[in-house]
Amino acid sequence: MTYKIFLKNNCKAEIRSSYPRSIFSLFIMTLCLSSLGVFCGYIILAQNQFGTKERSIDKSVALEVETINTPIPNKKIKDIETSKLSPSKTKKEIENTANISWKSIIIKPGDSLALIFSKLGLSAKSLHEIMLIGKKTSILKKLSPGKKINFHIIDNELIALNYEINLVKILEVSKNDNKYIAKEIDIKLDSTVKNANGVIKESLFLSGEKAGLSDNLIMQLVAIFGWDIDFALDIREGDSFAVLYEEQYKEGVMVAEGPIIAAEFINRGKIIKAVRYLDSTGQNNYYNSNGEAMKKAFLRTPIDFFSRISSKFSLKRKHPVLNKIRAHKGVDYAAPIGTPIKATGDGVVNYVGKNGGYGNTIKLKHGGAYTTLYAHLQRFAKNMRRGEKVKQGQIIGYVGTTGLSTGPHLHYEFQIHGVHRNPLTVQLPKVRVIDRKNIAEFKKTIAPILAELDLIKGKNVLSAKYTKTITKEIKLDDG
């Protein structure tokens, strides 16, 4: 409606006949919508066909790129350039490449190699071939819980495995020409030289811990000086110690302590020094500054720690059970039942069993002159029998109260040519000294180490120039 018509009708809306024209409009609208629908359908169909073709081209291009980047074994570059690469073959090669993997298994209690092979889907034949290698793979018969074993697997076939035997050795088994071979690989640990020193106030253990020494290092210290110092009886307040030792690191993590490189112990004013040295036999042992071995033929005591000496060596002692004067030809060490007893020297078991008032007894022969006796034992160590060879420090039995005994203790005797001697005061024989022809080289080697040992009493920093000397001139191993 125009403005003129609106005025002509006295400002009223124009009324028109709409019926015939509405049918025509509906027809026109329907025709337009149909045409639009056909046109849109054609556009969509065309786009789909074009997109499919484009994706097909992209896929073939992608496969071609992947094929070019996929390494093909046993073929030269020239062969690759001239060969025709099929998409199906390329896909298979890609799948095979994806199947290559290393798997790390943490061993749990009760696990065996056979069980692990089964879980990984590896064949029993491979396991059998590995175990047939012999001595090197025999360690795999008994796996240690908590350790890792790594497997290199391609298409469910074992290509290699490695197993950490200890901190410095790895067993590696690999397949070469369809045959498994085994070898041990040495791991080099990073070593750092450290030091500690202290003065004993309450006990060696408390003072050692305060100085930063672990229980393990304190026990190493006791083992070094145990031939000269009775750590149960001789230690006094005011005694002091100084220690140079190593810490072993693996991948930046400390995994072991020791060995002690050198140490000094002042006991009742007596200065005793020990240095670890690689001698002519190829073994690392501890020597004093004169080239005399710290290790003697006999330990001073057969028990590391005990509460007290309940009875000393005496020819006129009143027996606590028989209540009469009777010679006490040994030393009684009071200790809890079950305390380990060590052989004080290398020897052979001469007697083991019950022996009257001595109760359970072990008697050891040490060469032609020396004999030691251990009585009132609760029980004997495994495999203790007449004729059995024992090593110094080996556990041979455990403290008890068998025989004529008023409480748990060890009765220890020491004889030379059949004559009883006081175990606390007898002069113990030495076993090793540096050869005279090597003594000059020995003293030259240990001089900077002993100098550093003197320095650490007032300093807590190890001189870098001596660290190199120590590690170069003294080979440190498990010995």
- Average model confidence (pLDDT) across the chain: 77
Residue 278, pLDDT score = 87
- Whether the CB-CB separation of 303 and 399 falls below 8 Å is answered with yes
**Distance, CA of 124 to CA of 76 (rounded, Å):** 37
Tell me which DSSP letter residue 122 carries.
Answer: -
State the pLDDT at residue 412: 93
pLDDT at residue 402, as a whole number: 93
419 φ, ψ (degrees, to nearest 5): -100, 130
Task: Kindly give the residue spans of alpha helices, DSSP state H, lying in 409-459.
Answer: 439-455
> pLDDT grade, residue 390 (50/70/90)?
very high
* Range in 64-73, 121-130, 234-243, 404-413 the model is least confident about: 64-73
Mean pLDDT of 457-473: 44
CA distance 308 to 293: 29
Q: What is the pLDDT of residue 305?
A: 66
Q: Tell me, what's the pLDDT at 456?
A: 84
What pLDDT score does 36 carry?
A: 73
What's the CA gap between 209 and 69, in Å, rounded? 61
Q: Is the pLDDT of residue 187 over 60?
A: yes
pLDDT of residue 266: 93
State both tokens at 304. Answer: 């590391």
pLDDT tens digits along 286-314:
999 989 888 888 888 898 766 678 788 77
Please name the residues in contact with 27: beta carbons below 8 A apart, sequence gap of 6 or more: none
The CA–CA distances, whole Å, from 414 to 150, 392, 394, 424 equal 54, 15, 17, 10
So what's the pLDDT on residue 93? 46
Phi-psi region of 282 (alpha: psi -120 to 50; beta: other; left: phi over 0): left
Instruction: Give the Cα separation of 171 and 182 in Å (integer).
Output: 7
